[in-house]
């Protein structure tokens, strides 16, 4: 049976995402222009969301911003993400060691979401922030999760995702990407070498739960000028060690194979 969606709720959800993707404050005209909705429809949705506390209006410029009810709901979700509580002190320790920014992400549909971020002492101008989404095909964190999915799930995700070329180094060919993911799985870590942003390099490693299922990943990000070939091995070791420790504290048994290393894994069968 095909899924049925309620259009008005879908429109409201799309509208709320604009405040994350476009701007923290938007007028009715901004919302209408970005969504393609008529001003009257956009106005009706906005006023309903405002009534429920999901949006609030700035009395000075009459623009709208996300309401405190979303903060409350977000905290309720965050409080159930035990991985954040487990990972945070370990990430802070890795940041002190590597002196670079470290991220924690989880998979949501065909993208990853940043659920934790600890800044390093050096300035790093990148778009990542807690709650923000990122593509799976050209980020280290995305590839580190994707490579350890069962093969059928990898193919489903890649078929669904838009393999957008963010830089000349972005892999957008599915066959090439599958081969690359085999390498990621074999070596146990992923590298984003200016694939989503020129000048930025990331090393990422997967995190597994007690069932051996990949549930998240962490990455260390820095400008390529600070990520020379001589430094990469130390970063790989540090990131993998932290990911392994988090996995163990999530119940993963060291030495056991993740579920993706099965007959359904990309490690088997080939293209």
Task: Specify whether the CB–CB gap between 162 and 170 falls below 8 A.
Answer: no
Residue 29 has a pLDDT of 95
Residue 120 has a pLDDT of 83
Domains and CATH numbers, the chain: 7-72 (1.10.10.10), 81-249 (3.30.450.40)
Residue 254 has a pLDDT of 64
Residue 268 has a pLDDT of 37
* Sign of torsion over alpha carbons 82, 256, 103, 69: negative
pLDDT in tens, the chain (271 residues): 346 788 889 999 999 999 988 899 999 999 999 999 999 999 999 999 999 999 999 999 999 999 988 887 876 665 555 888 899 999 999 999 999 999 999 988 888 999 898 888 876 656 567 878 889 999 999 999 999 998 888 988 888 888 999 999 999 998 999 999 999 999 999 999 999 999 999 999 999 988 888 999 999 988 888 888 889 999 999 999 999 999 998 888 765 554 443 334 443 333 3
Task: Specify whether the CB–CB gap between 264 and 150 falls below 8 A.
Answer: yes
Distance in angstroms (rounded) separating the CA atoms of residues 27 and 31 = 6
Residue 83 has a pLDDT of 87
Q: Give the angle subtended at the CA of 158 by the CAs of 155 and 164, to the nearest 5°.
A: 165
Beta strands per DSSP E along 109-225 = 111-118, 133-135, 190-193, 200-208, 214-223
Residue 124 has a pLDDT of 62
Residue 260 has a pLDDT of 42
- The pTM is what? 0.69
Q: By CB neighbour count within 10 A (0-12 exposed, 13-18 middle, 19+ buried), where does 69 fall? A: middle
């Amino acid at each position: 049976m095909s899924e049925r969606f309620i259009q008005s709720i879908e429109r409201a959800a799309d509208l709320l995402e604009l405040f994350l993707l476009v701007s923290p404050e938007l007028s009715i005209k901004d919302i209408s222009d970005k969504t393609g909705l008529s001003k009257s429809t956009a106005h009706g949705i906005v006023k309903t969301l405002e009534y429920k506390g999901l949006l609030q209006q700035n009395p000075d410029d009459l623009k709208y911003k996300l309401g405190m009810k979303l903060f409350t709901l977000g905290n309720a979700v965050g409080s159930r993400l035990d991985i954040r509580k487990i990972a945070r002190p370990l990430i802070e320790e890795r940041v002190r060691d590597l002196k670079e920014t470290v991220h924690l992400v989880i998979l949501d549909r065909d993208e990853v979401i940043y659920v934790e971020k600890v800044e390093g002492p050096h300035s790093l101008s990148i778009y990542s922030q807690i709650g923000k989404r990122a593509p799976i095909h050209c980020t280290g964190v995305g590839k580190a999760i994707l490579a350890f999915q069962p093969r059928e799930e990898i193919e489903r995700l890649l078929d669904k995702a838009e393999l957008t070329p963010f830089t000349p180094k972005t892999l957008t060919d599915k066959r090439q990407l599958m081969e690359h993911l085999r390498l990621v799985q074999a070596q146990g870590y992923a590298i984003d070498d200016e694939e989503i942003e020129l000048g930025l390099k990331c090393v990422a490693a997967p995190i597994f739960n007690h069932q051996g299922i990949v549930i998240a990943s962490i990455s260390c990000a820095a400008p390529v000028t600070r990520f020379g070939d001589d430094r990469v091995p130390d970063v790989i070791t540090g990131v993998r060690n932290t990911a392994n420790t988090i996995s163990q504290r999530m119940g993963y048994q060291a030495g056991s194979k993740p579920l993706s290393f099965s007959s359904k894994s990309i490690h088997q069968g080939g293209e």
